[in-house]
């Protein structure tokens, strides 16, 4: 999916140059869930924006499905971003005067989807995230968790290959955080998404397959709890093959059952050259 080689990003700050990324090398496989942690101001969001084509590196290669985003023309990057990448942000970034359904439909406008198809797909997406009864509500009439569910529906309605989430639970209480991260995990599993999630919350990060740590613009890795749990489970299975064989739920069905969500497939989207999504610095 992604292969980054020696990626740098420098910003001018007065007469000084600030190095946000210092030679980042990174491979993200199809269907992988990567969490990125680290102190504020050390390059996490910058890396996420470069992965999503919202910003360009100062140097290096950002290979996305065989195409270097760093070398593509802006119109080409916009097409890739519009068709292949979904974004979820900490502040939700919903349009306050639009209903939940209209906010979700907005993601399909750049793809030249017809009005009728936009309405139908947005309604299905909101039903998928548990907001089928909130289609006409504007953001001010929704709780923080509900607003983030709208934002998730908006990100996924176009069926992207990649979901990039920047502190998606940062403005939520613990219970709502757990609901949202559980929903994201269901979507990741059921849709085969590649997901990169920036978070300060170690509880959230431990749900990922792999954890990266950004510090001073450099990326290192540590093992996620999920990987350790998988090794422990494998060892247990060797000791007790009969009990393992009789387990009634696979990891996939267990995740879906615990959440109570069974997202339907959404219709395929068409590519377009226009995209209105922008991230905060």
Q: What is the pLDDT of residue 276?
A: 38
Q: What is the pLDDT of residue 223?
A: 67
Q: Please state the φ and ψ torsions of residue 221, each to the nearest 5 degrees.
A: -130, 150
- Containing structural domain, residue 169: 2-233
**Residue 27 placed within a domain:** yes
Q: What is the pLDDT of residue 71?
A: 93
Q: What is the pLDDT of residue 13?
A: 86
User: Which CATH number is 134's domain given?
Assistant: 3.40.50.300
Which of 38, 118, 178, 250 shows the shortest CA–CA distance to 126? 118
For the chain, how many structural domains are there in total?
1
Q: Please state the φ and ψ torsions of residue 215, each to the nearest 5 degrees.
A: -145, 125
Q: Is-above-0.75 flag for pTM? A: yes
**Residue 218 placed within a domain:** yes
Q: What is the pLDDT of residue 238?
A: 45
**Residue 142 placed within a domain:** yes
Q: What is the pLDDT of residue 77?
A: 94
Angle at 212 between CA 47 and CA 190, to 5 degrees: 90
Q: What is the pLDDT of residue 191?
A: 92
**Residue 51 placed within a domain:** yes
Whether 209 contacts 224, CB under 8 Å: yes
**Residue 195 placed within a domain:** yes
Which of 21, 74, 72, 69 shows the shortest CA–CA distance to 214? 21
Whether 2 contacts 27, CB under 8 Å: yes
**Residue 273 placed within a domain:** no
**pLDDT, averaged in runs of 10, over the chain (281 residues):** 96 90 96 95 94 95 95 93 93 95 95 95 96 96 96 95 95 94 94 95 94 96 61 46 37 37 41 39 39
DSSP codes joined into one string, 188-255 = HHHHT-EEEEE-S-HHHHTTSSEEEEEETTEEEEEE-HHHHHHHHHHHHHHH-HHHHHT-S--HHHHH
Q: What is the pLDDT of residue 4?
A: 97
**Residue 253 placed within a domain:** no
Taking the C-alpha atoms of residue 148 and residue 153, their distance in angstroms, rounded to an integer, is 9
């Amino acid at each position: 999916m992604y292969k980054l080689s020696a990626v740098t990003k420098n910003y001018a700050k007065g007469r000084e140059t600030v190095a946000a990324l210092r030679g980042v090398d990174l491979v993200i496989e199809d269907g992988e869930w990567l969490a990125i942690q680290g102190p504020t101001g050390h390059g996490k969001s910058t890396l996420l924006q470069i992965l999503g084509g919202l910003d360009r590196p100062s140097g290096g290669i950002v290979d996305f499905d065989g195409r270097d985003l760093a070398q593509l023309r802006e119109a080409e990057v916009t097409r890739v971003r519009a068709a292949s990448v979904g974004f979820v942000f900490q502040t939700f970034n919903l349009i306050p005067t639009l209903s939940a359904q209209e906010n979700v439909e907005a993601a399909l406008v750049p793809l030249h989807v017809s009005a009728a198809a936009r309405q139908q797909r947005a309604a299905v997406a909101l039903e998928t995230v548990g907001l089928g009864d909130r289609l006409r509500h504007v953001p001010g009439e929704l709780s923080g968790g509900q607003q983030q569910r709208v934002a998730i529906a908006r990100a996924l309605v176009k069926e992207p290959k990649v979901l990039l989430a920047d502190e998606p639970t940062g403005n939520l209480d613990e219970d709502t955080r757990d609901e949202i991260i559980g929903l994201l995990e269901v979507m990741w599993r059921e849709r085969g998404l590649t997901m990169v999630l920036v978070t300060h919350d170690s509880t959230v990060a431990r749900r990922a397959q792999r954890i990266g740590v950004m510090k001073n613009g450099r990326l290192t890795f540590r093992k996620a709890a999920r990987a350790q749990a998988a090794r422990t489970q494998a060892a247990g299975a060797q000791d007790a093959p009969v009990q393992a064989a009789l387990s009634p739920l696979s990891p996939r069905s267990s995740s879906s059952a615990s959440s109570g969500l069974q997202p339907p497939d959404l219709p395929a989207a068409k590519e377009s050259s226009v995209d209105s999504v922008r991230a905060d610095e």
